[in-house]
């Protein structure tokens, strides 16, 4: 049935009646939300079925994006938008006295990720479908996802995120597609003449049950699948699980994302999770591929598996296991196919994230996988001998010093390795993965990250979207690069004022939210200065905090510059539960906030707001209201960043180091429309090479730095003696790993420039306009097209129908 407002209203009332036997006026927001999502789901279902069938009929290559994290956020609004329904539904519900935004708030974020990595995976899911590409997700359906963050006395407390408690209307449990995953035990190889058969003893069998979520493409009728796995006890094994502890072990497998790895039991659990979703995913893919009736020797032509960061690296060994052990392919043939199937993205050069697993843990988790990795390693060394120097082979081989190096496995076992921004890919080629680049230059490529304008502009910022429609038409909604049309309005006062007005409305909305959540009243005249991302020392939330303390002390000491502008500093960040240094920074930010916000002498000049439980739906509220985007990592450390892209798209101006994608942002908007400061990557590397950074000298020789740092330990900032000392020591005694003190002066200077610039509102609005105009250059739709062409070799499905999905 064609979709229109009147028909929808009838359908809505009927569905509410069917589901709950209620009239609109008697229903709760939760009931209204579930009614609406049920209509949405029953309407996209047929497109989902058709898409899936068409992929089968066409017999084209499909790709599977394997990721330990997915961070889709809420799905109601994005499904409505992508189906072409959003505005009509908003209107129809208004007729029924229902506020769509209000009922959308009922939905709990699908928070199965931590930061940029998981959000990128979800942006890619949306873009694959919106580009009409055959691409699906594969991950874990965590019962509690990442923790829910609370602040108590300024400390981060981690609570379970019970996102599934009121049900998840978007998922379908597919019992019939379950597979069995084998963990632990022992394995022997028995010679069967033409192949070796692995015989397993005492292995634990887990039933992996998939839950599928539809990923609806933007007005194109393509609906792909994100498949997340749950773990259960197989009925055949029930008798073996006699105690609650034994049963809990199975539940734990899919309980939380990133279990605490400070103990060995936690580390083992992490590796089990990795194998669990990899094995379940690959088994189901191979089973699906068999329906094509094609030889296994061609699987590389039909299937692509993308290893998102190293967590799914065991995919290489698991596919080899299935091809060799179960399909009885020769090792060489299986290897050829595996390399053709696999591709890998590296997301960071931080050593801590380049996973290494002790051989004994791998043995314990899946002994056959270890054997296969050992054999891959042995053959690699054999093949490279004589061609490369011995130490180079030692550096690149997979197993070294009894550790399995997952990045090495991913690169050796795949045909493509990419970085996520130009600088990052250069660093991979020239430094971190240089040996591999020498061995396999053709495997390396760059794919700068992207974001989806649908969520971050169309849904999150309807105010600005309307202004854009009026100024440049609606073409940008299909093709965000068309936002560049805005450039011709750089001197158009009307458009500049409309952009400024939209920002003001968004600031008002956020100010209300802040007051409701925290009780803090903020003035919308102030610059809204935003830093939202995982809490990590290299991202340097501490540099921001030092700047705040400096401003506070200046005001207290009557040293305010004439062009000083009031600011509201907004933070959103979670620290990993066992990352104590990051938690100390959180505590200090909260204490500085208390100090600043409650000082009558400071008043509206400064406010510090640390919003709890940073997540996608919170980002959607903050980003449209931002004036300043803080992207201040130490140059070379942030692989790309994506909040930098979202914030510019919403008209915030970026304060940035020349790191990650900040460099590409600068290249688009030009140096005049961004605030660049700090060391460059080459300067950072010079310090590394010469070992001549002495942070204590900065403390000792710079009065300003001393004044600010002393405030952390002399009681000026109350209630964080221990944490303040820890921070103080890290910056002075332990040589300030991320050059916070080295960049401080330059940072303060650029912030003064921000103030001067903000005092000229027209100029500020012009800069903002330029940033919006180029924000569309970072569309994940385009990033995904490049993955599709250069890495995966997949092409869009020819779709018959465009536009609004039918009811
Ligand atoms: C990581 C990197 C970021 C990068 C994303 C996505 O994100 O620079 O933009 O992956 O590639 F650090 P976080 O998990 O740190 O947010």
Measured from the Cα of 115, ligand 1's closest atom is 16
Measured from the Cα of 345, ligand 1's closest atom is 11
| Chain segment 736-765, per-residue pLDDT in tens | 999 999 999 999 999 999 999 999 999 999
Measured from the Cα of 420, ligand 1's closest atom is 11
| Chain segment 711-732, per-residue pLDDT in tens | 999 999 999 999 999 999 999 9
| Chain segment 418-470, per-residue pLDDT in tens | 999 999 999 999 999 999 999 999 999 999 999 999 999 999 999 999 999 99
- Is residue 802 scored above 80 in pLDDT? no
Is 137 in a helix, a strand, or coil? strand
Of 310, 285, 276, nearest in space to 140 by CA: 276
Domain extent listing, the chain: 1-58+75-108, 61-74+117-447+788-792, 453-778
How close is the Cα of 154 to the center of ligand 1, in Å?
26
CA distance 316 to 318: 6
Cα dihedral 241, 245, 251, 254 in deg (nearest 10): -130
How close is the Cα of 115 to the center of ligand 1, in Å?
7
Measured from the Cα of 119, ligand 1's closest atom is 6
Distances from the Cα of 551 to the Cα of 249, 358, 546, 564, angstroms: 51, 48, 9, 10
DSSP string, 54-96: HHHHHT--EEEEE-S-EEEE--HHHHHHHTT-HHHHHHHHHHT
CA distance 317 to 399: 14
**Residue 703, Cβ density class (10 Å: 0-12 exposed, 13-18 middle, ≥19 buried):** exposed
Distances from the Cα of 727 to the Cα of 627, 634, 638, angstroms: 28, 17, 21
Residue 631 Cβ inside 6 Å of ligand 1? The answer reads: no
| Chain segment 481-529, per-residue pLDDT in tens | 999 999 999 999 999 999 999 999 999 999 999 999 999 999 999 999 9
Residue 348 Cβ inside 6 Å of ligand 1? The answer reads: yes
| Chain segment 79-121, per-residue pLDDT in tens | 999 999 999 999 999 999 999 999 999 999 998 999 999 999 9
| Chain segment 650-666, per-residue pLDDT in tens | 999 999 999 999 999 99
Residue 534 Cβ inside 6 Å of ligand 1? The answer reads: yes
Strands (E), 495-592: 527-532, 567-572
What is the mean predicted confidence (pLDDT) over 762-778?
98
654: tokens are: 């970026």
DSSP string, 575-588: --TT-HHHHHHHHH
What's the pLDDT score for residue 801?
Answer: 62
Q: Is residue 639 very low, low, confident or very high in pLDDT (cuts 50, 70, 90)? A: very high
DSSP state of 450: -
Residue 641 Cβ inside 6 Å of ligand 1? The answer reads: yes
What's the pLDDT score for residue 650?
Answer: 98
453-778, superfamily in CATH?
Answer: Glycogen Phosphorylase B; (3.40.50.2000)
How close is the Cα of 100 to the center of ligand 1, in Å?
32
H or E element at residue 157: strand 155-159
61: tokens are: 């290559």
| Chain segment 278-320, per-residue pLDDT in tens | 999 999 999 999 988 899 999 999 999 999 999 999 999 999 9
Question: Residue 692: which residues within 8 A CB-CB, separation 6 or more?
Answer: none
Residue 709 Cβ inside 6 Å of ligand 1? The answer reads: no
Of 439, 271, 425, 427, nearest in space to 355 by CA: 271
CA distance 63 to 133: 9
Residue 116 Cβ inside 6 Å of ligand 1? The answer reads: yes
Residue 642 Cβ inside 6 Å of ligand 1? The answer reads: yes
What is the mean predicted confidence (pLDDT) over 537-565?
96
Lowest mean pLDDT across 65-69, 76-80, 275-279, 799-803: 799-803
Residue 347 Cβ inside 6 Å of ligand 1? The answer reads: yes
How close is the Cα of 68 to the center of ligand 1, in Å?
14
Residue 139 Cβ inside 6 Å of ligand 1? The answer reads: no
Residue 660 Cβ inside 6 Å of ligand 1? The answer reads: yes
- Is residue 128 scored above 90 in pLDDT? yes
Neighbour-count burial for 210-240, b at 16+ CB within 10 Å, e otherwise: bbbbbbbbbbbbbbbbbbbbbbbbbeeeeee
- Is residue 798 scored above 80 in pLDDT? no
Query: Which of 127, 348, 629, 659 gets mutated to test ligand 1 (max ligand atoms within 8 A of its CB)?
Result: 348
Residue 420 Cβ inside 6 Å of ligand 1? The answer reads: yes
How close is the Cα of 637 to the center of ligand 1, in Å?
10
Question: Residue 799: which residues within 8 A CB-CB, separation 6 or more?
Answer: 132, 220, 221, 222
Measured from the Cα of 633, ligand 1's closest atom is 8
Neighbour-count burial for 530-539, b at 16+ CB within 10 Å, e otherwise: bbbbbbbbbb
How close is the Cα of 639 to the center of ligand 1, in Å?
6
pTM over 0.90: yes
What's the pLDDT score for residue 59?
Answer: 86
- Catalytic site positions: 347, 533-534, 539, 642, 646
Residue 435 Cβ inside 6 Å of ligand 1? The answer reads: no
Query: Which of 309, 347, 354 gets mutated to test ligand 1 (max ligand atoms within 8 A of its CB)?
Result: 347
Residue 295 CA, chain-centre distance (Å), reads 36
Which residue has the least CA distance to atom 13 on ligand 1?
116
What is the mean predicted confidence (pLDDT) over 782-803?
89
Measured from the Cα of 449, ligand 1's closest atom is 11
CA distance 349 to 665: 21
How many CA atoms does the CB half-sphere of 367 hold within 13 Å? 14
- Is residue 800 scored above 70 in pLDDT? no
ipTM, interface predicted TM-score of the complex: 0.93
What is the mean predicted confidence (pLDDT) over 138-158?
97
How close is the Cα of 24 to the center of ligand 1, in Å?
43
Q: Is residue 50 very low, low, confident or very high in pLDDT (cuts 50, 70, 90)? A: very high
| Chain segment 359-385, per-residue pLDDT in tens | 999 999 999 999 999 999 999 999 999
How close is the Cα of 400 to the center of ligand 1, in Å?
27
Q: Note the CATH architecture for domain 61-74+117-447+788-792.
A: 3-Layer(aba) Sandwich (3.40)
Q: Is residue 799 very low, low, confident or very high in pLDDT (cuts 50, 70, 90)? A: low
Query: Are 488 and 494 in contact, with CB atoms under 8 Å apart?
Result: no
Q: Is residue 2 very low, low, confident or very high in pLDDT (cuts 50, 70, 90)? A: confident
What's the pLDDT score for residue 194?
Answer: 82
Q: What phi and psi, each to the nearest 5 degrees, are found at residue 802?
A: -115, 160
Measured from the Cα of 424, ligand 1's closest atom is 8
Which residue has the least CA distance to atom 3 on ligand 1?
641
Residue 607 Cβ inside 6 Å of ligand 1? The answer reads: no
How close is the Cα of 420 to the center of ligand 1, in Å?
9
695: tokens are: 């942070």
Q: What is the mean pLDDT of the chain?
A: 97
Cα dihedral 674, 679, 680, 686 in deg (nearest 10): 180
416: tokens are: 């493509």
What is the mean predicted confidence (pLDDT) over 49-69?
94
Sign of CA dihedral 90, 92, 95, 98: negative
505: tokens are: 């409305």
């Amino acid at each position: 049935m064609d979709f229109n407002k009147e028909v929808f209203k009838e359908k809505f009332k009927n569905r509410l009646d069917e589901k709950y036997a209620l009239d609109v006026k008697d229903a709760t927001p939760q009931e209204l939300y579930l009614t609406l999502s049920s209509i949405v789901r029953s309407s996209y279902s047929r497109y989902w079925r058709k898409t899936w069938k068409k992929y089968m009929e066409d017999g084209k290559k499909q790709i599977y994006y394997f990721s330990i994290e997915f961070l889709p956020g809420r799905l109601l609004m994005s499904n409505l938008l992508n189906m072409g329904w959003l505005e009509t539904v908003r209107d129809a519900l208004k007729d029924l006295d229902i506020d769509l935004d209000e009922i959308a708030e009922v939905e709990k974020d699908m928070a199965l990720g931590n930061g940029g990595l998981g959000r990128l995976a979800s942006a890619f899911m949306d873009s694959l479908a919106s580009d009409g590409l055959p691409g699906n997700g594969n991950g874990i359906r965590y019962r509690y996802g990442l923790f829910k963050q609370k602040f108590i006395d300024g400390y981060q407390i981690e609570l379970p995120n019970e996102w599934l408690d009121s049900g998840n209307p978007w998922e379908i449990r597919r019992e019939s597609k379950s597979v069995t995953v084998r963990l632990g035990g022992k394995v022997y190889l028995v010679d069967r003449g033409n192949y070796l058969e692995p015989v397993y003893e005492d292995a634990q069998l887990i039933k992996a049950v998939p839950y599928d979520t539809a990923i609806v493409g933007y007005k194109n009728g393509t609906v792909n699948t994100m498949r997340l796995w749950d773990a259960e006890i197989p009925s055949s094994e029930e008798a073996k699980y006699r105690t609650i502890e034994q049963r809990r072990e199975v539940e734990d497998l899919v309980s939380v994302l990133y279990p605490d790895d400070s103990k060995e039991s936690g580390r083992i659990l992490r590796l089990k999770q990795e194998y669990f979703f990899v094995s379940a995913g690959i088994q189901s893919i191979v089973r699906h591929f068999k329906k094509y009736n094609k030889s296994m020797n061609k699987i590389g032509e039909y299937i692509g598996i993308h290893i998102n960061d190293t967590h799914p690296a065991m995919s290489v060994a698991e596919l080899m296991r299935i091809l060799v052990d179960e399909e009885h392919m020769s090792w060489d043939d299986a290897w050829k196919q595996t390399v053709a199937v696999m591709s890998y993205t590296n997301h960071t050069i931080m050593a801590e994230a380049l996973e290494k697993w002790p051989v004994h843990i791998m043995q314990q988790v899946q002994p056959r996988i270890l054997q296969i990795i050992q054999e891959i390693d042995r053959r690699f060394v054999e093949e490279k001998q004589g061609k490369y120097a011995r130490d180079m082979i030692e550096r690149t081989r997979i197993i070294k010093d009894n550790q399995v190096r997952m990045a090495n496995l991913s690169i050796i076992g795949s045909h493509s390795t990419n970085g996520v921004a130009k600088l990052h890919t250069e660093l991979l080629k020239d430094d971190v993965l240089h040996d591999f680049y020498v061995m396999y230059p053709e495997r390396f490529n760059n794919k700068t990250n992207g974001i989806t304008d649908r969520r971050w502009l169309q849904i999150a910022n309807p105010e600005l979207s309307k202004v854009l429609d009026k100024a440049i038409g609606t073409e940008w909604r299909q093709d965000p690069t068309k936002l560049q049309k805005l450039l011709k309005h750089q001197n158009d006062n009307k458009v500049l004022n409309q952009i400024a007005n939209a920002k003001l409305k968004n600031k008002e909305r956020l100010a209300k939210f802040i007051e409701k959540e925290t009780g803090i009243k903020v003035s919308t005249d102030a610059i809204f200065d935003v830093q939202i991302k995982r809490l990590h020392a290299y991202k340097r939330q501490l540099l921001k905090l030092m700047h705040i303390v400096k401003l506070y002390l200046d005001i207290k000491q009557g040293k305010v510059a004439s062009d000083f502008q009031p600011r509201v500093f907004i933070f959103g960040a979670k620290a990993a539960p066992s990352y104590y240094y990051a938690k100390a920074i959180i505590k200090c930010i909260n204490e500085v906030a208390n100090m600043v916000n409650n000082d009558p002498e400071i008043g509206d000049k400064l406010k510090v707001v640390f919003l709890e439980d940073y997540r996608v739906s919170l980002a959607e509220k903050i980003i449209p209201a931002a004036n300043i985007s803080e992207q201040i990592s130490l140059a070379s450390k942030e692989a790309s960043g994506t909040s930098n892209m979202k914030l510019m798209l919403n008209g915030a101006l970026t304060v940035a180091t020349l790191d990650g994608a900040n460099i590409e942002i600068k290249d688009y908007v030009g140096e005049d429309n961004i605030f660049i400061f700090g060391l460059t990557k080459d300067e950072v590397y010079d310090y590394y090479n010469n070992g001549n950074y002495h942070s204590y000298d900065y403390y000792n020789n710079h009065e300003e730095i001393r004044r600010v740092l002393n405030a952390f330990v002399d009681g000026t900032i109350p209630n964080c003696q221990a944490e303040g000392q820890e921070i103080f020591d890290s910056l002075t005694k332990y040589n300030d790993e991320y050059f916070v003190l080295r960049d401080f002066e330059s940072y303060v200077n650029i912030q003064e420039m921000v103030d001067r610039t903000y005092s000229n509102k027209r100029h500020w609005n012009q800069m903002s306009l330029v940033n919006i105009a180029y924000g569309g250059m970072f569309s994940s739709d385009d990033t995904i097209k490049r993955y599709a062409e250069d890495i995966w070799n997949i092409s869009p499905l020819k779709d018959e129908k465009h536009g609004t999905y039918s009811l």
